[in-house]
Amino acid sequence: MFVLDALNYASDWLDGSLAFRWSCRMGVCGSCGALVNGTPKLTCAAPIPETGEVLIEPLHNFPVQKDLVVDIGGFMEKLVRVEPWIIRERERALEEGEYPQKPEELEKYDQFSACINCMLCYAACPVFAADKEFIGPAAAALGFRYNLDSRDEGANERLDLLTGGAGAFDCTFVGECSIVCPKNVDPALALQRIKIDAAVTSLKSIMRRGK
C-alpha cells in the first residue's frame, strides 16, 4: 500500500473534503508530490512504512491552497521563462526535410528530458526556500536540456534567462534536488554546467574584444 492509496482511502471513507492532487498513479504525471515523513516524494511511489504511521504534509516552499494542494503558478512561469523549445536562427522549410539526430546526440540531453515537473526538487532546495525568485532546479535543467539539443541554436538567447538575476549562479550546489528526484534527473549537474558554459562564453567574448 502506498501513501496515495491511504489518501484515497481517507478521502473515500473518512473525509471527502480532503484536497490532494494525483492522476496517473504510476510515477509519470508528477502531480502527487508531498512531504512523506519530512521528505519530498511522489505519494504514489512512497510505500506506507511497516509501522503504518506516516506524516503527510504539503510540499515545502510553495503557498498552500488547501490541505496538500499547493500553488504551482510561480513554478509554471519559471518553466516558460527558460524558453523550453527548439530555437533556430533560420527555420528549415518543410520541403528541406526533418532535423536528423544521432543516438549519441540524443544521449547528451536524454536524462534532462525525463523531468516530470513534480516540484520535489523545489521543495528540497534551500536556495529556493530563501528566494522564491530563484530559477530553481527543474526549470534550469529544462533550459539546459534544450541547450544540449543538437537541433537547437538558442543557447546564447537562453544564457541571460538562465544566469541573470536569481539564476544558476545563485545555486550553492547543495545537491538535494538531485537526491530527491524520482526520475534520476540530475538538476544540480545542469546548474553547475550552466555556470561553466556561461563562464566560457564570457571568457571567449573578452578574448574576442582583446584581439
Rule CB under 6 A: choose which of 25, 108, 132, 183 binds ligand FES.
Answer: 25
The 3-class SS string of the chain reads CEHHHHHHHHHHHHCCCCCCCCCCCCCCCCCCEEEECCEEEEHHHCECCCCCCCCEECCCCCCEEECCEECCHHHHHHHHHCCCCCCCCCCCCHHHCCCCCCHHHHHHHHHHHHCCCCCHHHHHCHHHHHCCCCCCHHHHHHHHHHHCCCCCCCHHHHHHHHHCCCCHHHCCCCCHHHHHCCCCCCHHHHHHHHHHHHHHHHHHHHHHHHC
CB of 101 to ligand FES, least distance (A): 28
Rule CB under 6 A: choose which of 6, 18, 29, 79 binds ligand FES.
Answer: 29
Q: Does 47 bind ligand FES (CB under 6 A)?
A: no
Q: Does 28 bind ligand FES (CB under 6 A)?
A: yes
Q: Does 32 bind ligand FES (CB under 6 A)?
A: yes
Tell me which stretch binds ligand FES (CB under 6 A): 24-32, 130-138, 153-161, 186-194: 24-32
Rule CB under 6 A: choose which of 35, 44, 59, 140 binds ligand FES.
Answer: 44
Q: Does 101 bind ligand FES (CB under 6 A)?
A: no
Task: Using CB under 6 A, list all residues that contact ligand FES.
Answer: 22-25, 27-32, 42, 44
